[in-house]
Structure 1
Amino acid sequence: MPARDLAEPYPHVTTDDPAVDAARLLAEQNLPALLVLDTDGIPYAVVPGSQVVGQVVPEYVMEDPLLAAVIDERHADALAEGLAGRTVAEWLPRRTFKPLYVGPDAGVLQIAAVMARAHVPLVAVVERDSGEERGRLVGVVTAAALMRHFLAAGDQA
């Protein structure tokens, strides 16, 4: 089955959106990862939810996890305040998560290999017109969609 047939719409933000909107989208939609598009609507980054959560944890706590045990909830509640006034591009983790994408004709094993190799729960499907350098987001293939496909194929065997 080609990627175009597995691709689904997926909520996203752009690099210019407020960081707090990105965090809210991830939380309210129960997303496994944040899909970030550039201002032209092309995939810019896919950031797993665990890495988004890591952006609100102070670096000194990341370096010494024992500090997390002594920080009370009142201080923990203030962690999200670091999002205020920042754009998604300013807020993204230092370790950039390049957007993984495949063309609309990619097969399920190609998609699965890209996803597994990069440890991300979704891969964007981008269609490029001939001669065009930029592409158009068709949708994404999630790990759940791949597993549904594999299980359905196994049931038919």
Structure 2
Amino acid sequence: MRAEEIAEDFPVVSIDSDALEAARMLAEHRLPGIVVTDTAGKPYAVLPASQVVRFIVPRYVQDDPSLAGVLDESMADRAADKLRGKRVRDVLPEHLVDVPPADAGDTIIEVAAAMARVRSPLIAVVKDGALRGVITASRLLAAALRH
């Protein structure tokens, strides 16, 4: 089975897209992450939903999770405000920038290896340099377990 056979249409955002809008897209569509394209429309990075969640949690709470219990509900309601005015490029994790896309002819094992190497919940699929779709980890697992 080849990457192009299991790739699916998937929303993408540009590195210059509004980060709050990207977060809303992740939430509304319950996506594990989203492919980020460069200004030319080529796959550039992967933005996992978990990274967006991490971005809105204050650093001191990440360092000491017991502090989460002392934050009041109004603080939680304002957590997404940290994304206001930011671009997607501002919230990208360094290790998921320049994630090499899978080639349409790659096997699912090649795709799985690439996904595992960069710890990404999804990977873009390209053919002749053009984005052809996305493979999520759950779709990859389903294809691998089918056999």
Determine if the TM-score, normalized by the shorter chain, exceeds 0.5.
Answer: yes
Q: 2:146 aligns with which of 142, 145, 152?
A: 152
Q: Partners in 2 of 1:24 and 1:112 — Cα distance?
A: 28
Whether 1:139 and 2:133 are equivalent positions in the alignment is yes
Matched with 2:105 is 105
Please name the residue that 1:118 is paired with: 118
| Identity value in percent | 45
* Contact 1:45–1:96 (Cα < 8 Å) also in 2: no
The number of aligned residues is: 146
Mapped to 2, the partners of 1:150 and 1:2 lie a distance apart of 11
Greater than 4 Å deviation, 4+ residue runs:
none
Structure 1 residue 18 and structure 2 residue 11: aligned?
Answer: no
For residues 62-82 of structure 1, the C-alpha deviation after alignment (integer angstroms, 9 at most, x for no partner) is 122222111111111111111
State the secondary structure of the residue aligned to 2:23. Answer: helix
Residue 114 of structure 1: how far off its partner (Å): 1.4
1:92 Cα shift? 2.5
Aligned residue runs from structure 1 range 9-48, under 5 A: 9-48=9-48
SS in 2 for 1:141: strand
Unpaired segments of 5 or more residues in structure 2?
A: none
| Residue in 2 that maps onto 1:7 | 7
Code of the residue aligned with 1:82 in structure 2: it is K
2:121–2:136 Cα contact (<8 Å) kept = yes
Structure 1: which 5+ runs fail to align?
Answer: 129-134
CA distance, structure 2, for counterparts of residue 150 and residue 90 of structure 1:
35
Letter in 2 for 1:150: A
Which residue number corresponds to residue 54 of structure 2? 54
Give 1:70's aligned residue: 70
**TM-score, normalised via structure 2 length:** 0.90
Structure 1 counterpart of 2:87: 87
Asked whether the 8 Å contact 2:7–2:135 carries over to 1, the reply is yes
Tell me which amino acid in the other structure corresponds to 1:59: R
Give the alignment's TM-score, normalised by structure 1: 0.85
For the aligned residues, what is the CA RMSD?
1.5
Whether the 8 Å contact between 1:15 and 1:87 is mirrored in structure 2 is yes
